[in-house]
Structures are given as structure tokens and as C-alpha cells.
Chain A
């Protein structure tokens, strides 16, 4: 983040990459803790260990996994849980459209990268622009988040009730704070700031009325405030891929 602002640091330097890796691993550790709490919750809901572990491997989308387990634990139908989870994950379609040039140049890389395209990886690599450093950041995030999430899930499912509530460590504020910290440099551009504020306002107003996932998608309405393209293209966070 700071090295991103310090323009003398070249995009591909080891210095920047090492700082990136440290930040990625910090987020990965936090994801591991949340994974453990997911495993513990799922086990407490009576879901067998292989299915809990399989869900983290195959779905790998924390929000929808928590949602599905919550619905099942509350006695809701599995179909409703799955539809709700898919709705929650629909935001990955526009994420994919925006992230394609960063993930890989060709299809094989994109086929692999698709599975690890999660919010935190998107935010993290976007804060590194659109060049090789952003691509390295995306894959470092994808691989380490995937590993820690799955290890955390199994640890949590096995340890069960011994896992303390991660909210008592404030983990629930760590993720929105991390997202904001990653988004701030890009939000210095006036058009991004207008769109972001509009998106947040729409999503917050919609939250009491819409099922999970839709308020965030409704945030796309913030694009109405995009206006015309800015005259200068100096803002690094909003630089477009070639």
C-alpha cells in the first residue's frame, strides 16, 4: 500500500513484492481463523466432517458457506440455502469481468484462477494496479487464502466447541477495515469516490429489505455517478488494462 504510493519503487521490485507477501500472509492468517470458526459452526450444525471440508474445497466462498450453514442450522431447506448462496456469489461475475487481464492472459490460467477469485484477493491485487505486481499479488492471495481457509476449516471442524468465537478477537472488523485500506488509494480519483459513496449508500439502504448478496449487487447502481471519463488518467488505482 505505502510502497504503492511511493512511486520510486519499481513495479516488479523484490522490495515491493516482499512487503506485499507480508500483507497477504497477514490476511491469510485472519482468513484461517474465520475458516476455523466456519468449521466449528458447521460441525455444531451436525454436518459431517467430509462435507464440511468438501464445502471449503469446492465452494471456497466464505460468505455463502456461512449462509448455507446458518440456514441449515435454523432448520431451513437445503434448496433455499443453495439458492441464497448462489445469489450471494453473483457478484463474482462482474469481479471476473474486471479482473480477467490481471488473473492471466490465456484461458488455462483463468480456468485455474477462477476458483480462487475471492473478494479479498480482488481488493488486494487491485490495490497493486494492473501490471505484473498485481498479478503476483492475486496469485499469492489466491493460493495462500485457499490453503489457510481449508486448513482452518478442518481444524475448526475437528476442534468443534473448543474454538472460541472469533468475533471476541474483533476479526469481523478486520475484513472491512482491510478492504477499506486496500480501496483508499483508488478512491482518490474523483469518479471512483463518487461511485463508491453511491454504492455504499444504496447497499446500506437496501440491506434491511433484500436477501443477503443483493444489497451489494444493488451497489452497482453507484455506477450512475461515474460521469464521463476523467481528462487525466493519472490515478493509479483506476488505471485500465490494455
Chain B
């Protein structure tokens, strides 16, 4: 691992972040496209949550994590405060792992 690698990854990542932010300022975006951009962000975030909840290294992650996420999502639906949602999810997963469920 070298500084060159860190800089290439860092600068590349920064430029990708910046390009989206600056492009939006230069082009007049019609409302129809704005809606698609917003839905696109939703699509990416839901895909991220789904893959993070269920997969690890290209396969199924085991039951402890999805069970915790399900408890968190359910408590969010029941309008439990956000901090508690996060703690309930982590606590469920940690508890299941204590019981030997991966």
C-alpha cells in the first residue's frame, strides 16, 4: 500500500463526488429529470441497504444481520425513535451471535 495508491483512490473518489455536484449547477435540469435523479438516489440507497443487510463477500451473510435489520425496520415503521432503531438492530444481531447464530 503506497501513498500513490491512496492519492489515486482519494482524488478519484473526490472527483466523482464533485462531478455530480458541479454538473447539476451548470445544466438547467427539467423537472422530469430532477424527479429521476431523486428516484435514482432512492434506488441506490435501497440497493445499498438491501445488499448490506443480506450479503457479505458475494454470498448470504447468515441470519443474525438480516434479523437485526428486520427488527430495526419494523421498529422504524412503528415510529420508534431513530437512535433506538439503530440500537435495537445492533442489539438483536449481537444477541443472536451470542447464541451462536452467525
Q: Which of A's residues lie within 8 Å of B, judged by CB?
A: 1-2, 5, 22-23, 26-27, 30, 45, 47, 51, 54-55, 58-61, 64, 68-69, 72, 78-79, 81-82, 85-86, 89-101, 103, 106-107, 110-111, 113-115, 117, 119, 122-123, 126, 167-184, 186-187, 191-192, 195-200, 202-204, 207-208, 215-220, 222-223, 226, 229, 238, 240-241
Contact = CB atoms under 8 A, between A and B. Distances in A.
Interface in B1-50: 1-3, 5-14, 16-25, 31-32, 34-50
Nearest to A73: B1
Contact of B40 (A64, A113, A220): A220
B44 to A, nearest CB: 5
Given A51-B3, A173-B65, A238 B49 contact: no
Contacts of B24: 96-97, 100-101
A238 to B, nearest CB: 6
Contacts of A167: 93, 97
Nearest to B68: A173
Given A26-B86, A173-B69, A177-B73, A183 B49 contact: yes
Contact of B53 (A59, A68, A176, A217): A176
A183 B50 contact: no
B34 A68 contact: no
Contacts of A223: 36, 39-40, 43
Given A59-B6, A174-B90, A115 B17 contact: yes
B46 A240 contact: no
B84 to A, nearest CB: 9
B97 A96 contact: no
B102 to A, nearest CB: 10
A59 B26 CA distance: 26
A192 B42 contact: yes
Nearest to B98: A168
A1 B14 contact: no
Contacts of A98: 20, 37-38, 40-41
Contacts of A200: 46-47, 49-50
Nearest to A24: B82
